[in-house]
Structure 1
């Protein structure tokens, strides 16, 4: 069974505001990086975002996905909260298949496949992510009830199954000509929820 522990912490001033930074993992593995604004207060649900690592979107500002704008918006939202927590999940690159396989899937998408079909063609799961470490990190941060900024029902289900109380806050709507098909597949084939909060998109 995965046992997540706190590996290191520091204070981190950023252009968004002042945060604390915590790294959680198991046996030295860096599973969860928590960027925290403020701290727990009585009867307060922090705003939380579980963000899967995306080198192409987060670092290179790729327009093939909406990951970069999602991350930027999430950190800006956290900075405005009395208590906000961004969990950055480095092992979730490419929905858990890793960067090399993600690039291979990109090449297949350029040949006409959608994101789901490309993973299947490579013999890989559509979504290999696991949120157990994220749930444990939230517990270690003193969070048991939260508002989760997401359109992904799998994230909500995973945290609820871990015993956390979750209220969904829609997060998204970052559509461009480059990522519209990618987002359509997330909505129709992966069951993502409408960014407006009114049900599923599409």
Structure 2
């Protein structure tokens, strides 16, 4: 992998004071948001970009709430968020908006992806292992509800899975149900 790594910089936020570092892989620039010291077994959240949820506060998903939960948790306990540039389960923003339009017509999140020619989840996690190796991390406590993330991390020992708890709303109840029933999320 040809990856460029930025310097570290301070990032004071409404959640707490963090350090950030960027990992550029081709045209994708992934971000690590850390609360140091990381310790021997840091808490890690692997979070895929969701512009609509993370930035615009969309109620169609739980992404923004998961990111907020993780940043608050890590601000208190230390650890890192690995923010992967994999918008819309890695189908890109344009296709994500098209998937939203299909969802508006009654398709669930997986059916919408299939209608657009994609699998239910196109994300990959090789960059996570590169980043953890970069920091010399061999054991983690993983902040996730997604079993695919647990299964995909082969070069690191997951000591504990820490669940993320968010409150459903009328706009994302079906979405969360599909994630649980069809994708095996641990909700």
* Aligned residue number for residue 116 of structure 1: 110
SS of residue paired to 2:67: helix
Q: Indicate whether 1:23 and 2:15 are aligned.
A: no
* Aligned residue number for residue 76 of structure 2: 80
**How many angstroms apart in 2 are the aligned matches of 1:157 and 1:25?**
24
Residue 50 of structure 1 is aligned with which of 46, 49, 55?
A: 46
Summarize deviations over 1:65-99 as a string: whole Å, max 9, x none: 01111111110111001x31011111x11000011
* Aligned residue number for residue 200 of structure 1: none
Contact 1:4 1:136 in 2 (8 A): no
Q: Which range is displaced more, 148-157 or 135-144?
A: 135-144
* Aligned residue number for residue 60 of structure 2: 64
* Aligned residue number for residue 124 of structure 2: 130
Contact 2:32 2:81 in 1 (8 A): yes
**How many angstroms apart in 2 are the aligned matches of 1:172 and 1:135?**
25
**How many angstroms apart in 1 are the aligned matches of 2:37 and 2:28?**
23
**How many angstroms apart in 2 are the aligned matches of 1:143 and 1:24?**
16
Instruction: Calculate the TM-score normalised by the size of structure 2.
Output: 0.94
Gaps of 5+ in 1: 195-202
SS of residue paired to 1:88: strand
Q: Indicate whether 1:142 and 2:136 are aligned.
A: yes
SS of residue paired to 1:8: coil
Contact 2:65 2:166 in 1 (8 A): no
- Decide whether aligned partners of structure 1 residues 66 and 131 sit closer, same or farther in structure 2, where only a CA change above 3 A counts: same
**How many angstroms apart in 2 are the aligned matches of 1:51 and 1:40?**
18
Report the aligned-residue RMSD: 1.4
Summarize deviations over 1:28-55 as a string: whole Å, max 9, x none: x3442000001233xx311110111001
Summarize deviations over 1:117-139 as a string: whole Å, max 9, x none: 11111111211100001111111
Cα displacement (A) at 1:5: 4.2
Cα displacement (A) at 1:185: 0.5
* 1:9-20 alignment, distance < 5 Å: 9-20=8-19
Contact 1:19 1:37 in 2 (8 A): yes
**How many angstroms apart in 2 are the aligned matches of 1:136 and 1:146?**
14
Gaps of 5+ in 2: none
